Amino acid sequence: MRALRTAASGMLAQQLNVEVISNNIANMNTVGFKRQRAEFQDLLYQNVERMGAQSSAQGTVVPTGIQIGAGVKAGSVYRIMTQGSPTQTGNTYDLAIDGRGYFQVTMPSGEIAYTRAGNFSVNQEGLLVTDDGYQVEPAIAIPQEAVDVSISRAGQVQVILDGEAEPQVVGQLEIATFFNEAGLEAIGDNLLLETAASGPATIGAPGDIGYGQLLQGYTEASNVDAVSEITALIVAQRAYEMNSKVISTADEMLSVSAQVKS
């Protein structure tokens, strides 16, 4: 009976849906996290009677035909790139991007990764790094004798040194944009990698046309909406239950047919 396999594909699809939703909910408080959404496609159809086929010698054709679907499959898990709310932290080195763009981070392998999580700090050498110690690019070195650090909305980093009144520029932050941000590959630790789907990174200064501005002392909150996720979870649960009911019904029908005596 086709209904068994069709309903089974529906249960597997909703299981994936729940897994995606659970990951969103788990990362409600993850800095810079972007929620995901599972999207589905129907499977192949069996043509019992093809529409448009000739149905008589007089040239009449079948108007609609008979097609029976085989179920559903996962099409993609799409990342929603809407911006999260800026959260004030008071930390000098925390940065949020107001608008488009990603911070550049050098991983231990030397590969460049990208992130919206701007909860930065300085290491023992005074370099601006992530909470895993990965260096932010381009390199920004804060002098040890600095008593105040200011990062402008345009990404210019200035420090006031002990005993001096005039600020000094020690670096310029740059951010990256992509033609297809949803095509970036998430690798964990709030990091994303460039792929063929995302297109190459385009580097520019914050505040330039097409690039967001920086907010010092802020981080970007997750864009997960708790109410929407719980609602989606309930819908997925009910869909799973209905598919399991189809399997139970198909099993009962098979049981009845097996008991038919000639």
Question: Within this chain, do residues 192 and 231 fall inside the same structural domain, yes or no?
Answer: no
Q: Do residues 172 and 254 share a domain?
A: no
Q: Are residues 176 and 122 in the same domain?
A: yes
Minimum mean pLDDT among 25-34, 42-51, 91-100, 238-247: which range? 42-51
How far is Cα 148 from Cα 158, in angstroms, rounded to an integer? 8
Do residues 91 and 216 share a domain? yes
> Looking at residue 260, what is its pLDDT?
76
Helices (H) and strands (E) in the chain, counts: 2, 20
Residue pLDDT, tens place only, 125-163? 999 999 999 999 999 999 989 999 999 999 999 999 988
Q: Are residues 70 and 102 located together in one domain of the fold?
A: no
Summarize the confidence of residues 212-218 as an average pLDDT.
Answer: 96
User: What is the pLDDT, as a whole number, of residue 261?
Assistant: 65
Both 97 and 124 in one domain: the answer is: yes
Give the pTM.
Answer: 0.84
Rounded to whole angstroms, the Cα distance separating 82 from 32 reads: 10
Judgement on whether residues 157 and 132 belong to the same structural domain of the protein: yes
Same domain assignment for residues 48 and 28: yes
Residue pLDDT, tens place only, 18-71: 999 999 999 999 999 999 999 999 988 887 777 777 777 777 787 877 888 889
208 and 189 together in one domain? yes
Q: Which domain holds residue 52?
A: 2-81+227-258
Beta pairing partners, 54 = 61
Higher pLDDT, 129 or 254: 129
196, 185 Cβ separation under 8 angstroms: no
- Rounded to the nearest integer, the mean pLDDT of the chain is 92
| Number of domains observed in the structure of the chain | 2
**What's the confidence (pLDDT) of residue 256?**
85
CB neighbourhood size of 232 (10 A): 19
- Same-domain status, 95 and 137: yes
Taking residues 66-78, report their average pLDDT. Answer: 89
Instruction: Evaluate whether 45 touches 69 at the Cβ level (below 8 Å).
Output: yes
Asked whether residue 65 falls in the same domain as residue 133, the answer is no
Does 188 share its domain with 205?
yes
